[in-house]
Amino acid sequence: MNKKFKIALAVVASAALGGAAVQGLHAQAKPKAYYVVELEVLDAAAQAAYAPVVQAAQRSAGGRHLRTAGARIVAFEGTPPKSVAITEWDSLEQVQAYLNSAAFKNLAPQRDKAIRIVRSYAVEGPAN
């Protein structure tokens, strides 16, 4: 009986240790971030040329474009923006690094000709 008790105690201790390890791993997960840009198109041709370039820069920095350009926007309160671009990132720090990067800054002349940014912000989602 003493041997069975030791085995049962080892099983319970292992389960508790495994549960604590899994909980620790979940606590380390970083929440995704969503970079939202509300914009107005200034020049449709310039915007058509700018969109693939900025999307490529975002992809190379780790962002995933959610294809919201030209999508229908429905306002439930207030005035809706004319257009919205949303990009998913692995973390808020990744968004900030992209916005501070040379790739983003070098696109400013092309961006300023194509669109006017009304508002831009990042939203941090829940951790997975």
Which pLDDT tens digit goes with each residue over 64-110? 999 887 889 999 999 999 999 999 999 999 999 999 999 999 999 99
Sheet holding 115-124, edge to edge: 64-65, 83-89, 33-41, 115-124
* pTM as predicted: 0.74
List, in order, residues 6 or more apart from 8 with CB less than 8 Å away: none
| Pair type for strands 64-65 and 33-41 | unpaired
Q: pLDDT value at position 21? A: 53
Residue 30 exposed, middle or buried by CB count within 10 Å (0-12, 13-18, 19+): middle
